[in-house]
Structure 1
């Protein structure tokens, strides 16, 4: 395949036939996907999956592979110019513990199993990319740094990626974050966010005569109702999402403990902080009203930011998708791209294939669209490598 281009249009002309060529790597890709998927990797316990990824990279002939102190897996595909670097990231962790059966079911055009889309497929792409570049005889000018980041989800709060960026000495020109789903996804901005966990505890020695008037469920319900009364502006776009509520043991036992998980998002950092302070005030008042103990923990947070819609990286990404017949779906992200953007690195998140039943045990991806997703990834790497995604000086 031609690897020296004068402009983005020359890359776009190569795209129509590329998915068919990439289908030739199916056996290797699916083997990597199955092996990586079947290793449990809940947040903070990604080591075994990362080690397998690096093993596969070594088998591909990569020598610059390592695991850092945060457990991140790093492999480097050397380019012609040692001073140039492109970062490709896929998070290693999933939402499923080792107690879940991680076996996949491979059907005619689908693969089913927990975490296969988020983000085993992203990991499999990292593992297979050296084979893909070799098959297509592509030699980039820049070094391609493959990063499998840990501690990305929930309480992990992107700590793995943050550690890597804090300690990395390589200058990057741009970054691409790879997610298994959804083909057409294009994220280049992040909303301000915090995820909160509220735990309520009522003393067990509470007078039985008041059992019907008070419990951890009633106290927490009061907090929820008052949070629902917080004024939410249409501009800046802001939302409160109530994700999970738990409490109680049985029909006739007073609930002494309850918990709430929720998320606040806004385009404005000041609005996020204002809602957080309001939630703290509501909790303090509810604690006094219900003779309850409350604990409020901010599990993770993000600052709003992004690159402009007119940035060459974004514009070229849209052109690549449209040339492949993929409709771009623009949406802000709370994932790895938010951290890269916050550090001033132009970056986007893209998805590889179509998926359904996300975060269910029967999470499903389609096989055929994967090759279109890989074609868009290769086109973007070539565009960055060619210097076509740099802002004019």
Structure 2
């Protein structure tokens, strides 16, 4: 590692001191972000809040595009390169959920605080964070609050920006609220799918073995789990969610199963999707119900190598902060950046509990380490410490 890159690591202690009391600013912004519901495809109100913050901080070209992405630019001293910082705006929770955040001495609790209100809050305070530690870059920083990322959104917002932004990105950093220490620089092959089971109104319930949607869908799950999976390439099928039934004593006529296929092999993802589609057709023919397979999202495997300079300096930053790096593949925003050949990494900003639940939480104390990590990483990218050459 070069001397100038080593100097960045030595500045981390100063960053920690300067950011010790800055957590309150980030937390207050996170609370305001989180209390605006933003389910996928309905992020506009949250986008309006964030673009107002960008404008208040005098970012260049603060705007909302036709997909409800929010963009703002922190101009660099030279401005000959663009570095992308992205955090998704959408949440798993819809408008029917109480989005109030409870602040306790050690943590903040509320649905969506970690995924991804904290990431969006860091976007909305980034110029202030940089000012606090005295960080000025030569490159422009393009801040993106991306829409339509989760579930059926399938990264639509980010993909739209990558297709239409006029200049290439030197590198990109994706912000996630939790799992401080995570480093994701590769994307695993993935397919998210839905199986929908519907019994027609004219169905003959007197026929043998008429058991309803839940039992038949459970049989489908068992059939899927019987599909042999190889150890290499690493492959798994995750049963994520099932919906069925309306009461204790009524045979259900509808059921929906959401699942995800993950594999290091793109070909194996496609093969397994085909087998599940065949199982749906087979159940349709056997039960008389209509069983449909629908592909919701797909990712290709790819990414940079473990030894890439961006990944190397990211690990060194965490080690200097006394945080053990955890290398995990990602299927989120990183995947769209990889598809475009942009060196990119996903980092976590703090630790937390109960991700994806109403009692989702983020711990307050580690946030300053997450912010210091981000400052050092941005400086390393700007100074060329992450260039393969």
With the length of structure 1 as denominator, give the TM-score of the two structures.
0.96
Q: Quick one: distance in 2 between partners of 1:384 and 1:52? A: 29
Q: 2:72 aligns with which of 72, 75, 79?
A: 75
2:382 alignment partner in structure 1: 385
2:299–2:331 CA contact under 8 A, matched in 1: yes
- Answer yes or no: is 1:332 the counterpart of 2:345: no
2:147 alignment partner in structure 1: 150
| Residue 211 (structure 1) shift | 6.9
1:8 alignment partner in structure 2: 5
Deviation larger for 196-205 or 314-323: 196-205
Three-state SS of the structure 2 residue aligned to 1:24 is: coil
1:194–1:264 CA contact under 8 A, matched in 2: yes
1:129 alignment partner in structure 2: 126
Offset from partner CA, 1:227-265 (integer Å, 9 cap, x none): 112110000000001111222223332221111111100
Q: 2:231 aligns with which of 231, 234, 243?
A: 234
| Residue 25 (structure 1) shift | 2.2
Q: 2:116 aligns with which of 119, 132, 138?
A: 119
- Answer yes or no: is 1:322 the counterpart of 2:319: yes
1:159 alignment partner in structure 2: 156
Q: Which runs of 4+ in 1 moved over 4 A?
A: none
| Residue 279 (structure 1) shift | 0.8
Q: Quick one: distance in 1 between partners of 2:141 and 2:205? A: 66
Q: Quick one: distance in 1 between partners of 2:385 and 2:79? A: 19
Q: Quick one: distance in 1 between partners of 2:99 and 2:17? A: 30
| Residue 6 (structure 1) shift | 5.3
Q: Any gaps of 5 or more consecutive residues in structure 1?
A: none
2:23–2:367 CA contact under 8 A, matched in 1: no
- Answer yes or no: is 1:296 the counterpart of 2:293: yes
With the length of structure 2 as denominator, give the TM-score of the two structures.
0.97
Q: Quick one: distance in 2 between partners of 1:237 and 1:19? A: 39
| Residue 108 (structure 1) shift | 1.0
Over aligned residues, Cα RMSD in angstroms? 1.4
| Residue 390 (structure 1) shift | 0.4
2:265 alignment partner in structure 1: 268
Q: 1:191 aligns with which of 170, 173, 188?
A: 188
Q: Quick one: distance in 2 between partners of 1:243 and 1:209? A: 33
Offset from partner CA, 1:178-227 (integer Å, 9 cap, x none): 00011101000111111111111112333342375342223323322221
Three-state SS of the structure 1 residue aligned to 2:200 is: coil
Three-state SS of the structure 1 residue aligned to 2:223 is: helix
Q: Quick one: distance in 2 between partners of 1:102 and 1:251? A: 31
1:243 alignment partner in structure 2: 240
Three-state SS of the structure 2 residue aligned to 1:241 is: strand
1:139 alignment partner in structure 2: 136
Q: Quick one: distance in 1 between partners of 2:134 and 2:258? A: 49
1:222–1:286 CA contact under 8 A, matched in 2: no
1:353 alignment partner in structure 2: 350
2:212 alignment partner in structure 1: 215
Q: Any gaps of 5 or more consecutive residues in structure 2?
A: none
1:192–1:303 CA contact under 8 A, matched in 2: yes
